[in-house]
Structure 1
Amino acid sequence: MTKNPSTLYRAGVLHCPADPSATALLVRDGRIVWLGAGADAPAADRVVDLGGALVTPAFVDAHVHVSDTGLALSGLDLSGVRSAGALLAAVAAFAAGLPADAVVLGHGWDESTWSVPVPPGAAEVDRAAGGRRVYLSQASIHSAVVSSALLAACPEAVAAPGYDASGWLRRAAHHVVRAVARASVTRAQRVAAHRVALRHAASLGIAAVHECGGPEISDEEDFTGLLSLSGVGVPEVYGYWGELGGAARARELGAVGAGGDLFADGALGSRTAHVSAAYVDGQGCGHGYLTAEQVRDHLLDCAAHGMQGGFHAIGDAAISTVLAGFAGAAEKVGTERVRAARHRIEHAEIVDRRLIAGFVEFGVVASMQPAFDRLWGGAGRMYEARLGLARSLASNPMGAMHGVGVALAFGSDSPVTPLDPWGSVRAAVAHHNPVQRMSVRAAFAAHTRGGWRAVHRDSEGVLALGAPATFAVWSSPAGVQRGLPVLAAEDPQVRGVRDPTPLPECRATVLRGEVIYEEGAS
């Protein structure tokens, strides 16, 4: 065998717009060194027969919380509970197998799907868990129900904004109890959670993730430990550290940006997203956590250290504040320098035309999650309950943003929604508001090349001569059209969240020439 062995992947259907007839590609030294018809393929040290499978660029998930994802995958999953009683039963069953001094960590309950949308109180949770400390994060991860035992261990939470004697905590009070709960997770457990999450991502055709860390949602040891695993038999990890004025620290930690979950507001599920008109099912307009001046100064700090910046902003009032900060930074360093940095706004759920114009003006990357609309958009769902039907249908305007050239990078915000890249593509294609729907090709590009461009890797996310050999191999039971799988039923009446069309299944994921997932391999 040669010093630099090559692998020929042949007899496939390649998503290669530059050469639609290509059925094979040759990989050497982590790059695609030949691409074309299988009959013309050069000799190779190793040949993989694809058997007609589809080959596409691998996915990038542009917003993930890897530790929490791994803990959710291996811990107490509450996404399926539909009542307070079912939640308590799940806690009791899970806690029964734990030591008496263990902390019960659960995630994913969503009261907006319950007929009686009220979670159990701290005392009830305490009884279900046998007196153990319990932390149960709501689907948004911006609030949690905790047990009396955990509250007793966090006396500072009582005086913090967002405290409620029921045990359902938001805002600063939630951050306090979250920190204590996370401290119960050992270093070994965190490493195991990292590996569980990254291996699961690879099994779904994801070759890279953007980890959104920061002092309010993780810690430095967790962040740097995760980055040390990047690309070592698992997907690559690009870290964002969300600390205000922390560009220098982000660089020291190995982050690619000082942003991600740098909170300008909260979440719609917890009624803490900062919106311009009051919630229809609760008092007030949520909470803004930053001023335009703070945003400006953070961006200037990023410019001084050559770092990309970004902010978590969901409500239109929060996004307006962030964009005002962009304008302030542009006055100091110039609009072109701001644009060149490709700063990000995470989520961007409530956005009107004026705000979209700001994304265009300042070259802001919109890191969005199509699954939010799939799960909570449309009539009778959480967005309507919080905002009213008209405002809910205007949410997550991916189609409008794509139509005017806003750079999109799609992700899951896992574990808020599951890692599910083809499901996210279909969600963008089948948005509840037909005006906001995207083509399969555009949505796929946002979930692949868009994620690479968001970390300034413009040559990646394509099957092309000389490009990194980063791709996924798929079984496509519904067929393939123009190099991409069929994701939606022909009958428009059955499309959408209950579309029966089977999604592709990953057979292999290759990262820079290395197989990081193979179907059936142990």
Structure 2
Amino acid sequence: MQYRYLITALSVWALVACSSKKEADFIIHNAVVYTADSAFSTAEAFAVSDGKFVAVGTSEYILNNYRADRVTDLNGLPVYPGFYDPHAHFLGLGQMLDQADLVGTTSFDEVIQRLQTFAAKHPAALWLIGRGWDQNDWPDQQFPTREKLDAAFPNIPVCLTRIDGHAVVINSKALRLAKIGKGTRVPGGEVVLANGEPTGVLVDNAMGLVRRVIPQPDQADKERMLLAAQKVCLSLGLTTVSDAGLNQNDIELVERLQKTNKLKIRDYVMISLGEPNLDYYLKRGPFQTDRLTVRSFKLYADGALGSRGACLRKPYNDRPETAGFLLLSPEELERNLTLLANSAFQANTHCIGDSANHLILDVYGKLLKGKNDRRWRIEHAQVVSPDDFWKFNRFSVIPSVQPTHATSDMYWAADRLGPVRVKGAYAFKDLMKQNGYIAFGSDFPVEAVNPLYGFHAAVARVDAKGYPKGGFQMENALDRPSALKAMTSWAAYANFEDHLRGSLVAGKQADFVVLQQDIMKIPATALRNATVLQTWVGGEKLYQK
């Protein structure tokens, strides 16, 4: 009898205990959960409801206080907040997937070979378009010229974009279509000449001369490109990407695809500078939906270091006749930044050279005046003079950098800058010290999409080959917790999204990624090969290995 009463009492207790538990959509437990919160705390489990984390803690706490039909034991696997890329070209990645891939070519002859293979697969193409060449990876490190393109492709126009997106090489047919000759001049750009004639290389603003005559993809093409880019990004753990410069039509396409639930990845879009965009968006104002943030304008101060378009305070070490150039005059830059200062928008300005960084930091300071929460950003902050670092702190400016730029450029950066000036380049730790945070992106498709490549480059300061031994300018390497925050919580802050996501804490959107290996513990040599097992956005699993 007593035994029967005991069983009954235990059953009643179990029912009461179960009914007192809070309902959740799913529970994950027995994991190593890196929250990336302000204390960089770790947990073991969490519960998710309606696309948000409702509780994070020990496995015992979560299982004792929450119930769900789906309960997953991760057997000790690591979980991180969804990875961010706060400076990339998401639509550009989709477009590149449709073009000839020239990344990693070791000579211009290899470029021609890859283009011939691509042309054979696309016999109906009106233009041959490719991207990714880098003359710094070739034996002579000289810009290519049109002669080999003319010989291989005399009857079809060709346009090949450099890896950094700041130079193209085109053939003679494309030169004729674009009406480019030896007398063509473009402010903020260069039509490269040899013996008084165009070589086919166009730098920075001069690229617009040929791009305006290239047939553009229609909306259906762009939809296909965006969905292809999404597939790539989700497979690498990215839950929030960015588009560093879109026009109104493309922004509205992204928003439409998100509303119809085709595009599920989150996108932080920077509006391209230009009169139509300024007129429209300054009147409309910033806006944020569940998956889209539009509250910044993208400006270009200068070009790229690799093509010597970056604006330097003193001439290039390896080409003393030039110091690069600005893409807009100081007056135009200040006029546009003043418009943004009088609005609620962020200003995100591309600055590579120390002269461009110096100029923009001073204009930011003039307009922002002191500490603030405008979160204006310097995109790349690649070469900064020692006497300018303090301005990031004084005016609350966010350095938005790309760690893999350092490990890509390190082979020739000292040649461009000289041994003294290069010490102010790719100075991620010095930049982080200013405000206690930094944002890490990739600039894909300029660099590889995989965010773990950037994590590796930031902490080890070596490339995929482990070069250089001991790391490149290791005084500016970051520790792993800081590097993880730079691609999660700090990146969310840079995007004005930190109240929504970026850290794995109760109340925020359930964006997270599960890896096979723990990037906080494995050897640095293994970081690039860490495997993404699952990617979740808003409590929905969008990728499973």
Task: Give the TM-score taking structure 2 as reference length.
Answer: 0.84
* Contact map agreement 1:292 1:324 (CA 8 A) in 2: no
Q: Which of these residues, 279, 302, 305, is aligned with residue 343 of structure 2?
A: 305
Q: Distance in 2 between matches of 1:179 and 1:10?
A: 54
Q: Kindly provide the CA deviation profile for residues 432-484 of structure 1, in whole angstroms up to 9, marking residues without a partner as x.
A: 101111101101101111221012122321111222211111110xx56xxx3
Q: Distance in 2 between matches of 1:236 and 1:305?
A: 24
Opposite residue 197 of structure 1, the aligned amino acid is: A
Q: Kindly provide the CA deviation profile for residues 109-137 of structure 1, in whole angstroms up to 9, marking residues without a partner as x.
A: 11101112235432421332352221111
Q: Distance in 1 between matches of 2:443 and 2:235?
A: 18
Q: Distance in 2 between matches of 1:243 and 1:442?
A: 32
Residue equivalent to 1:28? 49
Opposite residue 299 of structure 1, the aligned amino acid is: L
Q: Which of these residues, 262, 276, 287, is aligned with residue 313 of structure 2?
A: 276
Residue equivalent to 1:354? 387
Opposite residue 147 of structure 1, the aligned amino acid is: N
Residues 397/19 of structure 1: CA separation in 2 closer, same or farther (3 Å cut): closer
Task: Give the TM-score taking structure 1 as reference length.
Answer: 0.87
Q: Which of these residues, 264, 284, 287, is aligned with residue 325 of structure 2?
A: 287
Deviation at 1:29, TM superposition (A): 0.7
Which blocks of at least 5 consecutive residues in structure 2 are unaligned? 1-22, 193-197, 288-292, 462-471
> How many residues are matched?
489
Deviation at 1:291, TM superposition (A): 4.2
Deviation at 1:358, TM superposition (A): 1.1
Residue equivalent to 1:491? none
Aligned-residue RMSD, C-alpha: 2.5
Residue equivalent to 2:4? none
Residue equivalent to 2:280? 249
- 1:205 matched to 2:237? The reply is yes
The structure having more radius of gyration, on CA atoms, is: 2
Residues 19/257 of structure 1: CA separation in 2 closer, same or farther (3 Å cut): closer
* Contact map agreement 1:112 1:382 (CA 8 A) in 2: yes
* Contact map agreement 1:265 1:313 (CA 8 A) in 2: yes
Indicate the SS of the match to 2:541.
Answer: strand
* Contact map agreement 2:392 2:434 (CA 8 A) in 1: no
Deviation at 1:427, TM superposition (A): 0.8
Q: Distance in 2 between matches of 1:295 and 1:184?
A: 28
* Contact map agreement 2:154 2:173 (CA 8 A) in 1: no
Residue equivalent to 1:8? 27
* Contact map agreement 1:88 1:120 (CA 8 A) in 2: no
Deviation at 1:225, TM superposition (A): 1.5
Single out whichever of 62-71 and 37-46 deviates more from structure 2: 37-46
* Contact map agreement 2:297 2:345 (CA 8 A) in 1: no
Opposite residue 202 of structure 1, the aligned amino acid is: L
Which blocks of at least 5 consecutive residues in structure 1 are unaligned? 489-498
Identity %, equivalent residues: 27
* Contact map agreement 1:296 1:328 (CA 8 A) in 2: no
Opposite residue 57 of structure 1, the aligned amino acid is: P
Deviation at 1:422, TM superposition (A): 1.4
Deviation at 1:205, TM superposition (A): 0.8
* Contact map agreement 1:6 1:28 (CA 8 A) in 2: yes
Indicate the SS of the match to 1:349.
Answer: coil
Q: Distance in 2 between matches of 1:230 and 1:375?
A: 34
Residues 19/275 of structure 1: CA separation in 2 closer, same or farther (3 Å cut): closer
Indicate the SS of the match to 1:167.
Answer: strand
Opposite residue 313 of structure 2, the aligned amino acid is: S
Residues 257/511 of structure 1: CA separation in 2 closer, same or farther (3 Å cut): same
Residue equivalent to 2:443? 413
Residues 247/365 of structure 1: CA separation in 2 closer, same or farther (3 Å cut): farther
Matches within 5 A, 1:355-394: 355-377=388-410, 381-394=411-424
Single out whichever of 16-25 and 102-111 deviates more from structure 2: 16-25
Deviation at 1:46, TM superposition (A): 1.4
Deviation at 1:248, TM superposition (A): 4.6
* Contact map agreement 2:28 2:47 (CA 8 A) in 1: yes
Q: Which of these residues, 345, 370, 380, is aligned with residue 335 of structure 1?
A: 370
Residues 290/236 of structure 1: CA separation in 2 closer, same or farther (3 Å cut): same
